[in-house]
């Protein structure tokens, strides 16, 4: 389809590629009418930033827990056996196509 609708606001900025067609919906805003909602917009933006910061904190905590768990199971992993089993399964799957 090659079509997307995105929000390019910070921190999700987007740099268009050479052949991209970008339609900025900002040009359709009536800033005069929106001015009456400035306090609500500022509050919403602050809540968004707070939620984003909390999300980053949760991701960092999840990473710490993941690393801790890895300390338990990585030393006991047989990566060669896993790789061998993966190869065996792939060969079997590919043989079904013949």
Residue 23 resides in a domain: no
Tens of pLDDT, residue by residue, the chain (98 residues): 688 888 888 777 888 899 999 888 888 999 999 999 999 999 999 999 999 999 999 999 999 999 999 999 999 999 999 999 999 999 999 999 87
Residue 24 resides in a domain: no
- What is the three-class DSSP state of 55? helix
Q: What are 20's two structure tokens?
A: 């991209």
pTM for this entry: 0.57
**Distances from the Cα of 46 to the Cαs of 39, 41, 43, 50, 73, in angstroms?**
11, 9, 5, 6, 41
Residue 10 resides in a domain: no
Domain residues for the domain of 89 are 37-95
Residue 44 resides in a domain: yes
Residue 46 resides in a domain: yes
Query: What is the rounded end-to-end Cα distance, in angstroms, of the chain?
Result: 33
For the chain, the domain total comes to: 1
Residue 47 resides in a domain: yes
């Amino acid at each position: 389809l090659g079509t997307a609708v995105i929000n390019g606001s910070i921190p999700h900025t987007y740099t268009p590629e050479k052949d991209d067609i970008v339609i900025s919906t900002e040009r359709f805003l009536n800033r005069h009418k929106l001015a009456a909602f400035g306090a609500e917009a500022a509050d919403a933006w602050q809540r968004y930033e707070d939620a984003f910061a909390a999300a980053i904190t949760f991701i960092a905590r999840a990473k710490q827990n993941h690393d801790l768990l890895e300390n338990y199971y990585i030393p006991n992993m047989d990566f060669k056996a896993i790789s061998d089993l993966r190869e065996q399964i792939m060969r079997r799957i590919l043989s079904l196509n013949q």
